[in-house]
Amino acid sequence: MLSLTWLRVAGVAGVLIGIGLLLPAWGEDVKDKNDKEVKDKKDKDKEAKDKARSVEEIMEEMHGDNSLRRKIGKAAFANKLGDAKEPAEQWVKLAGELSKCEPPKNKDLEMTVKKDGKDVKVNAWKKRCADYEEQVQNVAKAVKSEKVQDVRDALNNIARSCLGCHNAHQPN
């Protein structure tokens, strides 16, 4: 009885394959799986690359020639904030990576901040990275809201953060 049922199932499958109904579905499954594996591998490679990036490389991408900051500045200047959307997203991502890196100098340096009216000591690099990340997020928010003046203000705020961090953590 059972074997007859299976024969039938196999028979039906055979017919379906024969008329090309079942195979495309299977084929797609395999293809999806392959695509997924390829994608997973790409994600992993990319993750590894992101991890390996140094502060220097991140700085270069954010602030060097043809940098994300410059692209956004140009777009704001030309009143074309649409062009700034993608660079802004990339910038937020890179800024978030910064705190995971070790600075080349003074990684254990502490600084005092006010918390609930009290002085507390925190790791200076982590604090500066967090502040910087917040400022970059402000740029991205302003870009999204399409307010050119807000974008310019947010960019100017960031420009004031460079020196403090470099003085503390950039090698001479």
Binding footprint of ligand HEC on the chain (CB under 6 A): 54-56, 59-60, 63-64, 98, 103-104, 128-129, 132, 158-159, 161-162, 165-166, 169-171
Cβ-based nearer residue to ligand HEC, 118 or 160: 160
CB of residue 80 to ligand HEC, shortest distance in Å: 22
| The two structure tokens encoding residue 90 | 């990339």
Rounded Cα distance, 96 and 44, in Å: 18
CA angle (104 as vertex; 91, 68 as ends), nearest 5: 15
The secondary element (H helix, E strand) that includes residue 121 is strand 118-123
**Quick one: 90 or 170, whose CB is closer to ligand HEC?**
170
Which two three-digit tokens encode residue 76? 């704001």
CB of 133 to ligand HEC, least distance (A): 9
Distance between CA atoms of residues 159 and 150, nearest Å: 14
Q: Please, what is the minimum distance in Å from the beta carbon of residue 69 to ligand HEC?
A: 6
Q: Closer to ligand HEC by CB, 34 or 156: give it.
A: 156
Give min distance, CB of 53 to ligand HEC, in A: 11
* CB of 83 or CB of 157, closer to ligand HEC: 157
Q: Which is nearer to ligand HEC, 106 or 147 (CB)?
A: 106
CB-neighbour burial class of residue 72 (10 A; exposed 0-12, middle 13-18, buried 19+): buried
Given a contact cutoff of 8 angstroms between Cβ atoms, the answer to whether 67 and 58 are in contact is: no
Least Å from the CB of residue 154 to ligand HEC: 11
Burial track 77-91 (b if 16+ CB lie within 10 A, e otherwise): eeeebeebeebbeeb
